[in-house]
């Protein structure tokens, strides 16, 4: 159900655990923690925990993504979107 990866902890599908109802139990535990304003499970980033606790949409941070490849891709996209345009442009023929 929860897998340790190089960069942290992530939730993974486990069919046997699903059949046994462990995902439902984990959901109840997470919900109880949030309702009672306890500390969020460490598998949730601070941004996700804040959204789940308040329901107020928040902008996730790329640095909070556990998967290195996904985090790197988002950082590259963000860089390209905010990259200053060069004053000299090459004309395509």
Domain contains 66: no
68/79 Cα distance (integer angstroms): 16
The total of structural domains in the chain comes to: 1
Domain of residue 23: give its range. 2-60
Q: How high does pLDDT run on average in the chain? A: 75
Are 39 and 33 spatial neighbours (Cβ–Cβ below 8 Å)?
yes
Domain contains 85: no
* Whole-structure pTM value: 0.47
Indicate whether 35 pLDDT > 60: yes
39/18 Cα distance (integer angstroms): 25
């Amino acid at each position: 159900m929860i897998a340790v990866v190089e960069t942290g902890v992530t939730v993974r599908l486990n069919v046997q655990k699903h059949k046994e109802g462990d995902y439902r139990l984990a959901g109840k535990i997470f919900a109880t923690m949030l309702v009672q304003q306890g500390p969020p499970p460490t598998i949730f980033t601070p941004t996700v925990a804040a959204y789940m606790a308040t329901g107020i949409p928040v902008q996730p941070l790329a640095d909070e993504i556990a998967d290195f490849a996904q985090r790197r891709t988002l950082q590259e996209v963000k860089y390209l979107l905010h990259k200053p345009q060069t004053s000299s442009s090459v004309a395509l023929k």
